[in-house]
Structure 1
Amino acid sequence: MKALTLWQPWASLVIAGAKPYEFRSWRPPASLIGQRIVIHAAARKVDREEACWLWTLLMDRHHSEQERIAAAETCLHADIAIPILERGFMDGLEPLPLAAALGTAIVGEPRLGTRIAEEFGVPRANDSDRDSHANLGWPMLDIEPWPEPIPMRGKQGLWNWPDPADFIGDLS
């Protein structure tokens, strides 16, 4: 099984279903589409300013049309994302796990980011040139969170999740 390492809070947002697409500049390998992958949280600490900025953006989405569009451009489900983002910057809350696998998801057929943003309520621009520069959104489908994070060093990009048999040999 392949694994994909994401920085926090993005990994937790995917596993919670708040981030239904993982955006990349490249298309996933054809062999990966329709397959289950492990969602892994990187060891990099949460950027508290980024988490707070996103939280504020989502919280303010009802104040004006401009703020609604700005929040929609994140392609996040705000009501699910807000409590996760709070864990990224508020003291006293359980921190988001780092250097750990959080669960699995099935990678769907990738879509243009500009088309995905429309689903979230971002008005379509009239310049078709935007599509040629848009990132691809990999749908994260059939998410299965694990009851507990599994500590594991990750790697950039896609990497091979170890087979449980690899660990059994270490115990003897």
Structure 2
Amino acid sequence: MKALTLWQPWASLVVAGAKPYEFRSWRAPRSIIGRRIVIHASARKVDGREVDQLRRLLAAGGRYAAQTCLTPIDVALAVLNGGDWPLAAGIGTAIVGEPRSGADIGADFGAINAVNDSDRHLHCNWGWPMENIELWPEPLAMRGAQGLWTWPTPEQVA
């Protein structure tokens, strides 16, 4: 199974069902569309400024909240205010849907500016739908990698 490493709190937002798209600068490879992948939380320390920015946009509501593409807002705020974001661990799985243009997704959400859920503006070209989410009962500690990588089998972990 392939894995995708996300910074926190975005990984937790995905598995909570509040981040329906993972934005990337590149289109998801055909080989993973319709396939289940592991959502892996990176070891990177959470950037409090990014979290505060998301909270402000969601609190502002309307088109400002829409530019984050986080929904439902109450679930997103609960994750952002909870602060329990595992690091360096697999936290669940999702099926990758057919990628969509970030501009099209933004229009669907009614965003006032280019849709983006972080300050990495070049990473919003493609939205990968995160569907049929499965939250794991406990995080599984694991070192990650950039891009798509292969999640080890239980035999490889042992």
In the superposition, the TM-score normalised over structure 2's length comes to 0.88
- Code of the aligned partner of 2:12: S
Task: Specify every segment of 5 or more residues in structure 1 that has no aligned partner in the other structure, as ranges.
Answer: 62-67, 89-94, 126-132
CA RMSD of aligned residues (A): 1.8
Indicate conservation of the 8 Å contact 1:118/1:124, yes or no.
no
Q: For residues 38-83 of structure 1, give each alpha carbon's deviation from its aligned partner in whole angstroms, at most 9, with x where no partner exists.
A: 000000111112111211221121xxxxxx2121011001111001
Q: Please tell me whether residue 163 in structure 1 is matched to residue 153 in structure 2.
A: yes
d(CA) in 2 for partners of 1:115, 1:138: 12
d(CA) in 2 for partners of 1:124, 1:98: 31
**What SS does the corresponding residue of 2:80 show, helix, strand or coil?**
helix
Find 1:80's aligned residue among 66, 75, 80.
75
Indicate conservation of the 8 Å contact 2:20/2:131, yes or no.
yes
**What SS does the corresponding residue of 2:37 show, helix, strand or coil?**
strand
- Code of the aligned partner of 2:149: W
**What SS does the corresponding residue of 2:127 show, helix, strand or coil?**
strand
d(CA) in 1 for partners of 2:67, 2:60: 13
Partner of 2:143: 153
Residue 29 of structure 1, CA deviation = 1.2
User: In the TM superposition, what are the counterparts of 1:1-172 in structure 2 within 5 Å?
Assistant: 1-61=1-61, 68-77=62-71, 78-88=73-83, 95-122=84-111, 135-167=125-157, 170=158
- Code of the aligned partner of 2:18: A
- Code of the aligned partner of 1:109: E
- Code of the aligned partner of 2:70: L
- Code of the aligned partner of 2:103: T
**What SS does the corresponding residue of 1:154 show, helix, strand or coil?**
coil
d(CA) in 2 for partners of 1:29, 1:157: 11
Partner of 2:119: none
Q: Matched residue pairs, number?
A: 149
**What SS does the corresponding residue of 2:136 show, helix, strand or coil?**
strand
Taking structure 1 as reference, are residues 124 and 58 closer, same or farther at Cα in structure 2, changes over 3 Å only? closer
Q: For residues 94-125 of structure 1, give each alpha carbon's deviation from its aligned partner in whole angstroms, at most 9, with x where no partner exists.
A: x3100010100000110011111122123699
Task: Specify every segment of 5 or more residues in structure 2 that has no aligned partner in the other structure, as ranges.
Answer: 115-122
Indicate the percent of aligned positions where both proteins have the same amino acid: 63
Indicate conservation of the 8 Å contact 2:21/2:130, yes or no.
yes
In the superposition, the TM-score normalised over structure 1's length comes to 0.81
